[in-house]
Structure 1
Amino acid sequence: MKQPSDQYKKTNYSRKSFLSDTVKLAGGISLLSVNNFAMAATAGASLKEYTVQEIMDLILKEVPGAPFKETVDTLKSGSGDQKVTGIVTTMFATIDVIHAAVKRNANFIIAHEPTFYNHTDNKTQVKDNTIVEQKAALLAKHSITVWRFHDYCHALQPDAISYGVAKNSGWLPYYKQSEKLLELPAIKFAALIQHLKKSLGIAHVRVIGDPQQNCQRIALLPGAWGGDRQMAAVLQDKPDVLIIGEASEWETVEFIRDGRLLGSKTALVVLGHSVSEEPGMEWVAQWLQPMLPGIPITHIASGDPFTWM
């Protein structure tokens, strides 16, 4: 995840619920009740066909301040006029995800991250990029539209990505006023690591810290917030553990290592970028289903790109 656009960072969104029928979570956060929404959406509604643009417009109605003047959330392939046969949500529209969408007769992929290997999906950033050309051709061959859902995803109230991670981790009761700071019952660092691996389905994580230290105050920053914001969270919130998706090893990682040698107690867990945000896109699929009756919606995890030797 690149850092959110300036529009997203600067706008002071008022907290509102996704719909008028909401539930209150611990700490007072208003959040969409999927069951209640399903009842409201389907009551008296007839199934209909949707175009890509119609679905995008429905989603943007739920995003405070949308549409943004500047955003990377644009179509990366296909057309807004295309009739949608099925939707796939994912982190990355990888070649495997594209083939899986084709098998499901799904022609609309909603991906959180870039399709063409840079933040703005500039296909000419690297000259004569044959991988980009082949991927674009594959999408065109199967008439698949890809929409990036990044800035708008993080602008939802609360942030859909961090909410999905907290939900899958079983931490919603502790997901309070701050969407990145959680106060958990005391747990050993080693036990916390095992809980994250099991609840998020992650085989391996990288850590810095004492396995026996007690952890309660958790800074949850899935994805790639950037070194400045990761370090600022440590200095401002003073968490026992900083949980991130990825970091530049010469920035946050060295900051944590030196900090501990100078007396800081903050430990670090690096989950991996894709797997750290995937629960959010999984939740987006659940959120969309009652909005679009009759449209098959599936989450396909793009998965960890690494093989651990």
Structure 2
Amino acid sequence: MKRKDFIKATALTGSYLGIVSFNLLDGSDPERTGSGLTISELQKFLVSLTSIPKKTVDRIIVGKPDDIVKKIGTCWMSTWETCKKAVDSGVNVLITHEPTFYTHWDLDEVPGFLDQSSDYTRQQYLLQIEKKKKWIIDNRLVIIRNHDTLDALQEKGIPFALGEFLGFSKNDIIASRTYYNVYKFNPLPAAGFARILAGKLKQLGQPGVAFYGDPERMVSSVGLGTGWICDPMDYADLKPDVFVAIDDVIRTHIQTVYAEDTGHPLIVINHGVSEEMGIRSLNRIIKDRYPEIEVVHFSQGCTYDWITG
């Protein structure tokens, strides 16, 4: 099952309840803190934040579960550069939202996700995966994935954190379901709202936003989704005046043409930008739970450099 289909299916079946719960799994001691905390116990705390399916990508990806937590790092994407920064700063457990090994299920999908690739491409990716994995293990770094939990978490999860960053509050929500919030604001032309949004996102390294639709249409609500599952086609029934979606989802021959033909405003932003504030929210949750452990965040935001001619 593809990544997007799996996430949507679990939401439709009610597997994600989105309720904050700090009950640890498997009988772990919820009071276990300090230098005696194992990485396995930290992972159990993280997946206890909300109800998620048993089949989840939220787990220890690589490294020794029984190692003692010394210093925690959080990031949106565990790129090799970020892993090196983590090790250099004394972090021995890095919590990432997105994959480490280039596919949603990480090592579980290796080498299967390369079945449709040429032999050369397959060889190059497998070589890089082994090099990165060996480096992580050799440097005694442990990678924890926290994706499904943070996507579904109410009030502190991905769409809520982005909404708060943009200046909205819970009282501004006029429609909502797991993964999606629609926020109200004072009416203004769609292009004016896009400029305000771009000004906010500039703080996260996004140089501008892509706009489709009628720039003069008056709008008073915006729909924010969660990363990969913010396709306007999936939450159009919540009826926001403006859709916000990410670059990993939008296809120029589908949603953008529809926006142009209908005039319904669509704003496309970078995937990393849309979820950066959610990872910072998770960082604060961990700090509050383990105040005696140093927890740092590796900011990433926009994942590309904007180069002009």
Give the TM-score band, short-chain normalised: 0.7 to 0.9
Task: Decide whether the 8 Å contact of 1:18 with 1:157 is kept in 2.
Answer: no
Kindly tell me: are residues 257 and 182 of structure 1, through their superposed partners in 2, closer, same or farther at Cα, counting changes over 3 Å? same
Tell me the SS of whatever aligns to 2:184: strand
Kindly tell me: are residues 80 and 187 of structure 1, through their superposed partners in 2, closer, same or farther at Cα, counting changes over 3 Å? farther
Q: What's 1:216 paired with?
A: 220
Q: CA deviation at 1:118?
A: 0.8
Selected match of 1:123 from 110, 114, 121: 110
TM-score, length basis structure 2: 0.80
Distance in 1 of aligned mates of 2:89 and 2:275: 23
Selected match of 1:141 from 130, 138, 141: 138
Q: What's 1:298 paired with?
A: 296
Distance in 2 of aligned mates of 1:259 and 1:208: 6
Task: Decide whether the 8 Å contact of 1:222 with 1:273 is kept in 2.
Answer: no
Q: What's 1:11 paired with?
A: 14
Q: What's 1:238 paired with?
A: 239
Kindly tell me: are residues 10 and 149 of structure 1, through their superposed partners in 2, closer, same or farther at Cα, counting changes over 3 Å? same
Q: CA deviation at 1:159?
A: 6.2
Q: What's 2:159 paired with?
A: 162
Q: CA deviation at 1:307?
A: 2.2
Task: Decide whether the 8 Å contact of 2:58 with 2:144 is kept in 1.
Answer: yes
- 2:67 matched to 1:73? no
Distance in 2 of aligned mates of 1:171 and 1:271: 18
Task: Decide whether the 8 Å contact of 1:189 with 1:211 is kept in 2.
Answer: yes
The CA RMSD measured in Å over matched residues stands at: 2.8
Residues 1-40 of structure 1 correspond to what in structure 2 (within 5 A)? 2-3=3-4, 4=7, 6-11=9-14, 16-18=19-21
Task: Decide whether the 8 Å contact of 1:114 with 1:120 is kept in 2.
Answer: yes
Selected match of 1:273 from 265, 271, 274: 271
Distance in 1 of aligned mates of 2:174 and 2:296: 29
Distance in 2 of aligned mates of 1:176 and 1:238: 10
Which stretch of structure 1 is more off in the superposition, 113-122 or 54-63?
A: 54-63
**Aligned partner of 1:171: which letter?**
F
Q: Percent identity?
A: 23
Distance in 1 of aligned mates of 2:269 and 2:175: 24
Distance in 1 of aligned mates of 2:9 and 2:214: 37
Kindly tell me: are residues 70 and 18 of structure 1, through their superposed partners in 2, closer, same or farther at Cα, counting changes over 3 Å? closer
- 2:49 matched to 1:62? yes
Q: CA deviation at 1:13?
A: 5.5
- 2:274 matched to 1:289? no
Q: What's 2:229 paired with?
A: 225
Selected match of 1:96 from 81, 85, 97: 81
Q: What's 1:197 paired with?
A: 198
Kindly tell me: are residues 14 and 305 of structure 1, through their superposed partners in 2, closer, same or farther at Cα, counting changes over 3 Å? closer
Kindly tell me: are residues 175 and 2 of structure 1, through their superposed partners in 2, closer, same or farther at Cα, counting changes over 3 Å? farther
Distance in 2 of aligned mates of 1:5 and 1:13: 10
Aligned residues: 279
Q: What's 1:258 paired with?
A: 258
